[in-house]
Amino acid sequence: MKRRILAYFVRIMAAAIAATTILMTLLTYSMFEKRIIEDLSVDARVLEALLKAGDVQSILNELDDALRVTIVDRQGVVTYDNRVDAAGMDNHLDRPEIAEAMKNGEGRDVRDSRTVDSSTFYYAMRLESGGVLRVAKEAASIWSIYMRALPLILLMTVLMIALNVAVSHVLTDRLVEPIRRLADDMDGVHSAASYPELQPFVRTIRSQHEEILRNANMRVEFTANVSHELKTPLTSISGYAELIESGMAAGEQARHFAGQINKSASRLLTLINDIIRLSQMDSPDAEIECEIVEPGQIAETVIEQLRMSAEKMNVTLKADVRPCMISADRRMMEELIYNLCDNAIRYNVRGGSVRVEVRPVKDKVLLIVQDTGIGISKENQERVFERFYRVDKSRSKATGGTGLGLAIVKHIAAKHGAQIALQSEPGSGTTITVSFDRAGR
């Protein structure tokens, strides 16, 4: 990362230096050129005035060698040049500055000299005679100006690279430091020291980290609970089996013990089934197979299955279902309704009742399981959905409970995007409402 940032910096800086150099050179050169031509034009005007006033030759002979002076007549024939013999010079009408001066009164041009590092600047003006007076001077070319600036530019570049290395080092360190600190200590609350752009990231990481910890804790707790739950029926199975094996129990008593073994074994089976269901639903790639189902129909089927156990508890079952559809996994729907109705019967009172209602409300379908049972106190209402949480352990066990029924209900509801609401009053009953999205309207 550091290297990449540095590379970016260096590239940007190189482009900036190159652009600045080119621009500055062009600007300086154009000013420089303008200045030389202006000087030349002043020289030419002074010369013209002097020429008008006095003896041409003697004035021209006095001229400093730095300035080249050429005079041509109106046909372009060179009549005088202070550097070259005029007689040997070709016609000058084709020189741009002279042609321009003939036409407009004055003309200028810059031409490369024989060497690359200098250029010749020309200024020409028309004389009253119709001929042209031209003055010329050699000066540094744009290239030589650039070459002169080059060492300075190189020095600047080196300095800038050094500065860039230092700055990018400091910047990346500052950027990375809070992340490194976070990686070292996930629970550290000193994130305030980091910069605001990092805050959402820190928050997400932290909440995920907490979630992972929570899940890990839950798993450990769950494993401990499972072992404990499995141990109880297994202990009683092996106890009774031992008694029968040793011959201490015989006849009627042995049959009674065998019955106990059977009971514990089926309890074990129910428990294992529930655990398997939960872990199936827990696995992240567990797909639910949704189809359009009528929860009212499923509720009626479940009620039929539970009629026997309701009669045993002397509880009446009523169904009030309206036709409406939801998109759900049929088997999970059956489980959810079964678990809710089963609880409503098992935690009921003799002579109590259970009412199952399914009805559409706007774009929702409500499944309401209402009982007139023992109810759940306020402080337990939140916890009953936890795995293995039971308000009255002995009653739960006596009625074949595993403490997992509502955890499974909660799971299924979550998988279907449904919401659960629990209303309960100890001594007068419990109502659990699950609201699903309505389908196929």
Residues that bind ligand ADP (CB under 6 A): 339, 343-344, 347, 371, 373-376, 384, 389-392, 396, 401-407, 430
303 Cβ contact partners less than 8 Å away, ≥ 6 residues apart: 317, 319, 341, 356
Residue appearing with tokens 């739960």: 396
Q: How far is the CB of 238 from ligand ADP (least distance, A)?
A: 24
> Could you please report the per-residue DSSP string of 47-72?
HHHHHHHS-HHHHHHHS-TTSEEEEE
Q: DSSP 3-state assignment of 304? A: helix
- Comparing CB distances to ligand ADP, the nearer of 74 and 307 is 307
Least separation in angstroms between residue 235's CB and ligand ADP is 20
Report yes or no: 356 and 317 within 8 Å, Cβ to Cβ: yes
Grouping H, G, I as helix, E, B as strand and the rest as coil, residue 417 is coil
Question: Which residues does residue 109 pair with via DSSP β-bridges, in sequence order?
Answer: 122
The residue among 41 and 433 lying less far from ligand ADP, judged by its C-beta, is 433
Contact assessment for residue 226 and residue 273, using Cβ atoms and an 8 Å cutoff: no
Q: Minimum Å distance from CB 211 to ligand ADP?
A: 23
Q: Which is nearer to ligand ADP, 374 or 434 (CB)?
A: 374
Beta carbon nearer to ligand ADP, 55 or 425: 425
Taking the complex as a whole, the smallest distance from the CB of residue 335 to ligand ADP amounts, in Å, to 11
Question: What is the closest distance, in whole angstroms, from the C-beta atom of residue 316 to ligand ADP in the complex?
Answer: 15
Which is nearer to ligand ADP, 118 or 270 (by Cβ)? 270
Q: Which is nearer to ligand ADP, 261 or 384 (CB)?
A: 384
- Residue 268 to residue 278: CA distance in whole angstroms: 15
In whole angstroms, give the CA distance from residue 52 to residue 300: 127
CB of 344 to ligand ADP, least distance (A): 5
CA distances from 71 to 50, 64, 128, 211, 229 (A): 14, 16, 12, 96, 121
